[in-house]
Amino acid sequence: MNIFNRILFFFFPQARDQLRDYPRVNSIVRIRVNSSLFQHEREQTPKTEFFSEWRYVYMGEIVNMPGHCILLGTLTNKMYMGYHCDEFEEIPEEEV
């Protein structure tokens, strides 16, 4: 998210719903290749449980923390919270 969008969302919070590129609720998602999470995963030597999973169920945005989401791991059934929503992309149905 660039600085223009941050300023826009500060003055017009309703614009967030129109401009955001978040996955649909209850969809299968993966980490975006160009995200900072993906770069962190590649630099990390021992992989954490979060990065050992490659598919997650996107449960939606946290109400009290706009821009942050709740994810459910498909392999371990653990819930992960507080990650940025724009770090994930929805997997197309053909790949699932």
Residues 1-17: tens digit of each pLDDT? 567 667 766 776 665 55
62 burial via Cβ count (<10 Å: 0-12, 13-18, 19+): middle
What is the pLDDT confidence band of residue 56, given thresholds at 50, 70 and 90?
A: very high
Cα→Cα distances 49→15, 16, 39, 53, 68, Å: 35, 31, 16, 7, 19
Question: What was the pLDDT predicted at 81?
Answer: 92
pTM, entire model:
0.69
| Sequence letter at residue 90 | E
For residue 93, name the pLDDT band (cuts at 50, 70, 90). confident
| Residue 15: per-residue pLDDT | 59
